[in-house]
Structure 1
Amino acid sequence: MTTKTSAPYRAEIIGSQKRPALLLAKRADYDAGKCTRDELKTVEDQAIKDEVDKLLDVGIKAVTDGEFRRHMFFDGFFDNLDGMVEIKNPGRELFKMYVPDIKGFFESHASKPASTMVCRSKLRRTKPMYRPEFEYTASLVKPDEVKNVKITLAAPEWYHLRHGEHAFSKDVYPTEVEYFADLAKAYREELADLYDAGCRNVQFDDPLLAYFCSTAMLDGMKEDGVDAPKVLDQYIQLYNDCVRDVPSDMVIGLHLCRGNFKDGMHFSEGGYEHISKKLFNELNANVYYLEYDTDRAGGFEPLADLPATKTVVLGLISSKFPQLENKEDLVERIHRAADFVAQGAGQTREEALERLCLSPQCGIASHAEGNPVSHDDVWKKLGLVVETAKAVWSDA
């Protein structure tokens, strides 16, 4: 994969947006058997069209469908992959309790996961997964803007970290090597299909890599006899195997956060210094979308590890709460981040700024219910992203 040096767009969004009430109601009807899939799709289509129009009006170029066809941000890949089986009402023995969100669900949130997925036969991609989502969104923009449309993908290690040795049957895959090989093959096929459809901008949504910044998880893995650095290396290699055939004009983005559940709930804390050297230098992504809206993500110092060929989108604006950030404070923080980027790459601040962008720290609704913000709050937040970007970058 050829590394791109250009930033995506100065004002960015992560992907998921707040669902309209009409869409939530229609999906509830569908789940209750009160409407057909076609009837739900009609409402989805209109909601996505309205969303794309608003994004373009506010000044967001890399539009998404808001993940309006999904309940959770990671939907769409594993649930369409042959070999994966849904386990309903799973017990905690199936999970790794050192994983922050798993621990949160079982111990803090008082509601264990309603279902999960594990591999029970050979993994095979036998149908399009995200292409239909992309093609509809692409149909809503001008032909020369299709390259701006962004599709979000599930993190490839999603179920492996959560389940460890329970993630796949040993009679199907004797070792993780074989399991990861077929998983990466499926992702390569999906990315090739998306490229064929005209997609040039993909973003992997991956809170799990940020969990490797959590000393609580690292300590828990050690207590469980799990070699955390080795697992991180496996995941980096998995990513590289997934994207190894991506053409040079397809941008690969990677979004890390520390949890974005109901009522703005987060699951982990810890600065990027735990993973920044490997994350930036060994994982073959072009763009990193990093959470930086609170102190739990640490300081900007790890940005000094960013190679001169890569871009970071600073998630400085919270998607969790309605309070609006101060534009002058945001500008100052962007400049401070640029100084660390410049320091590491031997650049001037102005040169480093060319490799930075701005976004909310996460999606507005990583799950269908979303965060405690109104639609009006959402558009004020996104307007602030655009306004701040224009204040920092004259070409925004």
Structure 2
Amino acid sequence: MSAHLAPPFRAEHIGSLKRPNELLQKRVEFDEGKITKEELQKYEDKYIAEIVKLQRDIGLKGLTDGEFRRHMFYDGVFDNLDGMTHVKPVPKEWFMPYVPDIMAFQELNFKNADTYVCTGKLKRTKPFYKDQFLGLAKFVPTEEVKNLKLTMCVPHWFHLRHGPYAYPKDVYKDDAEYFADIAQAYREELADLYSVGCRNIQFDDPMLAYFCAESMLKGMAEDGLDSDAILDLYIDTYNKCLSDRPADMTVGIHLCRGNFKDGRHFAEGGYDRIAIKLFNKLNVDTYYLEYDTERAGTFEPLKFLPPHKSIVLGLISTKIRKLEDEEEMEKKIRAAAETVANGDQKRSVEVALNQLCLSPQCGFASHSEGNQVTEEDVQRKLTLVANIAKRVWGTPA
């Protein structure tokens, strides 16, 4: 297997974890100007230390900070990138109605909506995630720093959402110029992260999963857009962002169909439409795939997985409190291995099984408020993931 495949581990979690109520309250106080950033950080540190201990006690190795220093999962890049401007309120026409979550938010009439749009040349003049990584690394022994997982925003987040309003034509003449500067910023960020010990990156990308949704494909076609060409553009942008990464930096991508507040999803559709490009043209090492409900389709697209890549099966739901059945989950994992083994590039079931891992289908709190689960539910769900991993592979590592 490739050197990139050190992470993921057999038992994984996506990244965000349930934030304690006290931390949520302190973030409100910070937003209202009642406490300083330094005071807020004390509470973030307190609870990150606790959540790291919880993950280690369960037996997980790909540790995260639970995204406790963020409000939304995609925070970090565009709010720190020169040339981006925060806009609130946002003109309704700036949101592309064919994007599945935009369709859902239309019901709210875009009340209190805010966003970032490009208003000048994009340039990285300060780190995006370095402080978050170092703020996590201080809670683990030096030898475990290489296992820490950092989640980050995808390069096309605002491009898909805003279409022709994503950047002014007097700043960038076309998408190629726009994404060239974004890719440069990501290359600089990854190099900076690598220099402080980061070896495990996960892009959180609902956007690629949206290309599986018939509703979006239909809406794009009605607007005269070539969805295949746009998907190719995004894959090419990823590859340019990652073109300089060191051989021992593992990169994964998490595809999600929506995880808003009460666990609401936004899109449906199997991976069949994008599987060949996803697994064979996108230069990442692993894929975190949602598979907790029928809306993600069957395992059939996994037949296109190359032998040098891995898949983390998101079979455990973060949206409901009920625990999944261990035996049923093992059967699904082995069924997925059979599909991989009998795919385009044949291999033994044992080899295919070793390309698979297990995780929840998404984070427990993609935004600060999180899903309708308790902190105790999070512990029970992650313990279940570790137990199933032991059952299938003999170890959660």
- TM-score (norm. length: structure 2): 0.98
1:40 is matched with 40
2:203 is matched with 204
1:336 is matched with 335
* Residues 1:64 and 2:36 are matched in the alignment: no
Residue 83 (structure 1) shift: 0.3
Residue 349 (structure 1) shift: 1.1
Q: Residue by residue, what CA displacement relative to the aligned partner does 1:176-218 show, whole Å, maximum 9, x if unpaired?
A: 1100000000000000000001000000000000000001100
8 A contact 1:214–1:270 mirrored in 2: yes
* Residues 1:370 and 2:370 are matched in the alignment: yes
Q: C-alpha separation between the residues in 2 aligned to 1:258 and 1:361?
A: 10
8 A contact 2:82–2:122 mirrored in 1: yes
1:303 is matched with 302
8 A contact 2:3–2:248 mirrored in 1: no
Alignment of 1:186-335 (within 5 A): 186-335=185-334
8 A contact 2:6–2:250 mirrored in 1: no
Q: C-alpha separation between the residues in 2 aligned to 1:78 and 1:334?
A: 37
1:12 is matched with 12
8 A contact 2:61–2:147 mirrored in 1: yes
Q: C-alpha separation between the residues in 2 aligned to 1:112 and 1:285?
A: 37
Residue 256 (structure 1) shift: 0.3
8 A contact 1:153–1:205 mirrored in 2: yes
Q: C-alpha separation between the residues in 1 aligned to 2:111 and 2:237?
A: 28
Q: C-alpha separation between the residues in 2 aligned to 1:113 and 1:253?
A: 33
8 A contact 1:11–1:385 mirrored in 2: yes
Report the AA paired with residue 106 of structure 2.
F
8 A contact 1:201–1:251 mirrored in 2: yes
Q: C-alpha separation between the residues in 1 aligned to 2:37 and 2:17?
A: 21
Q: C-alpha separation between the residues in 2 aligned to 1:297 and 1:113?
A: 31
Q: Residue by residue, what CA displacement relative to the aligned partner does 1:136-192 show, whole Å, maximum 9, x if unpaired?
A: 111111111110000001011000000111100111101111000000000000000
* Residues 1:183 and 2:182 are matched in the alignment: yes
Residue 113 (structure 1) shift: 5.7
Residue aligned with 1:323, SS: coil
8 A contact 2:92–2:110 mirrored in 1: no
Residue aligned with 2:333, SS: helix
Closer, same or farther: CA 34–116 of 1 in aligned 2, 3 Å: same
Closer, same or farther: CA 376–110 of 1 in aligned 2, 3 Å: farther
Report the AA paired with residue 392 of structure 1.
V
1:138 is matched with 137
2:395 is matched with 395
Residue 4 (structure 1) shift: 2.9
2:353 is matched with 353
Q: Residue by residue, what CA displacement relative to the aligned partner does 1:308-358 show, whole Å, maximum 9, x if unpaired?
A: 110000000001110110000000000000011111231111110110000
Residue 56 (structure 1) shift: 0.4
8 A contact 1:7–1:311 mirrored in 2: no
Larger deviation, residues 212-221 vs 338-347: 338-347
Unaligned runs of 5+ residues in structure 2 are none
8 A contact 1:153–1:202 mirrored in 2: yes
Report the AA paired with residue 363 of structure 2.
G
State the identity %.
Answer: 57
Residue 5 (structure 1) shift: 4.4
8 A contact 1:150–1:203 mirrored in 2: yes
Residue 34 (structure 1) shift: 1.1
Report the AA paired with residue 160 of structure 1.
H
Report the AA paired with residue 361 of structure 1.
Q
Alignment of 1:74-223 (within 5 A): 74-107=74-107, 109=108, 111-112=110-111, 114-223=113-222
8 A contact 1:6–1:355 mirrored in 2: no
* Residues 1:379 and 2:379 are matched in the alignment: yes
8 A contact 2:291–2:361 mirrored in 1: yes
Report the AA paired with residue 183 of structure 1.
I
Residue 110 (structure 1) shift: 5.2
Q: C-alpha separation between the residues in 2 aligned to 1:190 and 1:387?
A: 36
Residue aligned with 1:263, SS: coil
Residue 282 (structure 1) shift: 0.1
Q: C-alpha separation between the residues in 1 aligned to 2:111 and 2:264?
A: 15
Larger deviation, residues 2-11 vs 257-266: 2-11
Q: C-alpha separation between the residues in 2 aligned to 1:5 and 1:370?
A: 30
Residue aligned with 1:28, SS: helix
Residue aligned with 2:116, SS: strand
8 A contact 2:52–2:139 mirrored in 1: yes
Residue 111 (structure 1) shift: 4.5
Q: Residue by residue, what CA displacement relative to the aligned partner does 1:54-79 show, whole Å, maximum 9, x if unpaired?
A: 11001111000110010000001100
Residue 295 (structure 1) shift: 0.2
Number of aligned residues: 394
Q: C-alpha separation between the residues in 1 aligned to 2:248 and 2:227?
A: 33
Report the AA paired with residue 245 of structure 2.
V
8 A contact 2:11–2:357 mirrored in 1: yes
- TM-score (norm. length: structure 1): 0.98
8 A contact 1:7–1:356 mirrored in 2: no
